[in-house]
Amino acid sequence: MKKRTGMALVAAVFVLATLVPQAPVIAAQNNDEVRQGELALLLVNVLGLYRFLPAAPTEHEAIAVLLSNRIAPANGWEPDKPVVLADLAEIIVRAVDRAHEVDNPDDPQSWINFLASVGVPIDTIGLALTNVEPLNEPIAGNVFVSSVTTDPLRRRAVFGQPDEAETGTDVAFMVSQRPISLPDIVDVVITIPDIPRRPRPITPD
């Protein structure tokens, strides 16, 4: 019954919210401009970073995981700013992990020249992304971030054996979820006498 009530409540709020008057959506395909936030969402897919994010990540969430992997335009991410060629070049070079091969990183043209020298076309974003492979060494807050969240939609209680990635390190099965049996608890209760005991509740029988 309570489950049904909860579901009905959620559905009702959704229906009410969709009744809000709708204004035209300014989509990227209405013009040729793609915003940096939209590019970030495309990049986390091809780089294999999506598994560290919730099912429908926001642009901010995508940007956060890209920053953790040192992938950003020269002046950092500005979600609403249109992507320009120099920024795209730097992002693609960083995404393919070859930034250390660029001659003059402070010169925007140098990033474009490097891609041209290795035969990577970036005339369009779609074309540029075909040159990006999944990252070999992805860095993401996986275990700790997923377990610290208060959101039950995103929280993970169990992590793989023997290890999962955590900001470039390995973290094993979460100790807080270490399963224990009743004898384990009985053993502790018996051997530690100073645990405060709770009075038994008075019941009719």
Partner 1 sequence: MKWNKLWIAGLAVSMALPAATMAREGARNYLIHNRLRLEYDDNIRETERDKTSSFKIIEEIEFLVNFNLENTFVSFRYKPSFVWWENRDESSTDLHHDFDFIFNHKFTPRLALGIKDTFRYAELPEAIERGTVVRQRSDFLYNALLGTLTYQVTPVGRMEMSGRYNLLRYDKSEIADVEDYDMYVAGLSYRHSIVPETSVSLESRFETISYDTVDRDADSYQVGLGTEHMFSPNVLGNARVGYHYKDYSADSVSSDSAPYAELNMTLVPSPATRISFGIGHSMLESDIFPYANQDRTRLFVGVAYDVTARVSWNIAGSYIYSKYDADDAVVELADAEGVEFGDGSEDIIQLSTRVTYRVNRSNWLEAGWQFTTLDSDLRQDFDRNRVSIGWKTQL
Residues in 89-148 that interact with partner 1 by CB under 8 A: 96, 100, 129-134, 136-137, 139, 141, 144-145, 147-148
Interface with partner 1 includes 70 (CB under 8 A)? yes
For position 56 contacting partner 1 by CB under 8 A, the verdict is: yes
CB of 69 to partner 1, least distance (A): 8
Indicate which single residue of 87, 106, 157, 204 sits in contact with partner 1 (rule: CB under 8 A).
157
Max alpha carbon distance in the chain (Å)? 86
Burial of 4 (0-12, 13-18, 19+ CB in 10 A): exposed
Segment interacting with partner 1, rule: CB under 8 A, options 82-90, 108-116, 164-172: 164-172
Backbone angles phi, psi at 112, to 5 degrees: -65, -45
Q: Is 201 in the site for partner 1 (CB under 8 A)?
A: yes
Q: Is 181 in the site for partner 1 (CB under 8 A)?
A: yes
Residue 183, interface with partner 1 (CB under 8 A)? yes
Measured from the Cβ of residue 163, the count of other Cβ atoms closer than 10 Å reads: 13
- Find the angle CA(72)-CA(75)-CA(78) to the nearest 5 degrees: 75
Identify which range of 83-91, 107-115, 180-188 contacts partner 1 by CB under 8 A: 180-188
Q: Using the rule CB under 8 A, is 32 a contact of partner 1?
A: no
Residue 67 C-beta: closest distance to partner 1, Å: 5
Which amino acid belongs to residue 91? I
84 binds partner 1 (CB under 8 A): no
Going from the C-alpha of 156 to that of each of 6, 61, 64, 121, 141, the distances in angstroms are: 22, 17, 19, 40, 12
| Least gap, CB of 116 to partner 1 (angstroms) | 16
Q: Which two tokens stand for residue 115?
A: 């891609």
DSSP type of residue 35: B
Residue 119: phi and psi, rounded to 5, are 75, 30
Which position has the token pair 């530690």?
192
Among 31, 32, 179, 202, binds partner 1 (CB under 8 A): 179
14 is an interface residue for partner 1 by CB under 8 A: yes
Q: What is the CA radius of gyration of the chain?
A: 25
From candidates 106, 123, 162, 202, binder to partner 1 by CB under 8 A: 162
**Region from 83-91, 108-116, 162-170 binding partner 1, contact rule CB under 8 A:** 162-170
